[in-house]
Amino acid sequence: MKFNIWTFLLQTINFIVLLFILKRLLFKPVREILQKRRDLVRESLEKVELTQKEALALKEEQQA
Protein backbone atom coordinates (compact mmCIF):
# COMPACT_ATOMS: atom_id res chain seq x y z
CA MET A 1 0.00 0.00 0.00
CA LYS A 2 1.41 3.33 -1.07
CA PHE A 3 0.97 6.69 0.63
CA ASN A 4 -0.40 9.31 -1.74
CA ILE A 5 0.17 12.89 -0.59
CA TRP A 6 -2.57 14.29 -2.86
CA THR A 7 -5.19 12.00 -1.39
CA PHE A 8 -4.09 12.94 2.10
CA LEU A 9 -4.23 16.67 1.32
CA LEU A 10 -7.66 16.43 -0.29
CA GLN A 11 -9.03 14.40 2.59
CA THR A 12 -7.65 16.93 5.05
CA ILE A 13 -9.23 19.81 3.15
CA ASN A 14 -12.54 17.95 3.00
CA PHE A 15 -12.42 17.34 6.72
CA ILE A 16 -11.75 21.01 7.46
CA VAL A 17 -14.61 22.06 5.18
CA LEU A 18 -16.91 19.58 6.91
CA LEU A 19 -15.95 20.93 10.33
CA PHE A 20 -16.63 24.48 9.17
CA ILE A 21 -20.06 23.52 7.80
CA LEU A 22 -20.98 21.65 10.96
CA LYS A 23 -19.90 24.55 13.11
CA ARG A 24 -22.03 26.97 11.11
CA LEU A 25 -25.10 24.80 10.79
CA LEU A 26 -25.09 22.77 13.97
CA PHE A 27 -22.83 23.88 16.78
CA LYS A 28 -23.77 27.57 16.94
CA PRO A 29 -27.55 27.04 16.88
CA VAL A 30 -27.35 24.24 19.45
CA ARG A 31 -25.16 26.40 21.67
CA GLU A 32 -27.67 29.25 21.43
CA ILE A 33 -30.56 26.92 22.32
CA LEU A 34 -28.64 25.62 25.34
CA GLN A 35 -27.87 29.16 26.49
CA LYS A 36 -31.55 30.13 26.23
CA ARG A 37 -32.45 27.05 28.25
CA ARG A 38 -29.88 27.94 30.93
CA ASP A 39 -31.29 31.47 31.14
CA LEU A 40 -34.83 30.12 31.47
CA VAL A 41 -33.82 27.75 34.27
CA ARG A 42 -31.92 30.53 36.05
CA GLU A 43 -34.96 32.82 35.87
CA SER A 44 -37.20 30.06 37.20
CA LEU A 45 -34.87 29.42 40.12
CA GLU A 46 -34.76 33.13 40.94
CA LYS A 47 -38.58 33.26 40.92
CA VAL A 48 -38.74 30.24 43.22
CA GLU A 49 -36.24 31.82 45.60
CA LEU A 50 -38.20 35.08 45.65
CA THR A 51 -41.45 33.21 46.30
CA GLN A 52 -39.84 31.29 49.17
CA LYS A 53 -38.61 34.53 50.74
CA GLU A 54 -42.08 36.04 50.45
CA ALA A 55 -43.62 32.92 52.00
CA LEU A 56 -41.19 33.06 54.92
CA ALA A 57 -41.94 36.74 55.44
CA LEU A 58 -45.69 36.04 55.48
CA LYS A 59 -45.19 33.13 57.88
CA GLU A 60 -43.20 35.31 60.27
CA GLU A 61 -45.84 38.03 60.01
CA GLN A 62 -48.60 35.54 60.79
CA GLN A 63 -46.70 34.18 63.78
CA ALA A 64 -46.13 37.66 65.20
Domain boundaries, the chain: 1-64
**Planar angle of CA 13, 16, 32, nearest 5 degrees:** 160
Q: Is the pTM of this model over 0.75?
A: no
DSSP string, 11-53: HHHHHHHHHHHHIIIIIHHHHHHHHHHHHHHHHHHHHHHHHHH
What are 18-59's pLDDT values in tens digits? 999 998 899 888 999 999 999 999 999 999 999 999 999 999
SS3 at position 10: helix
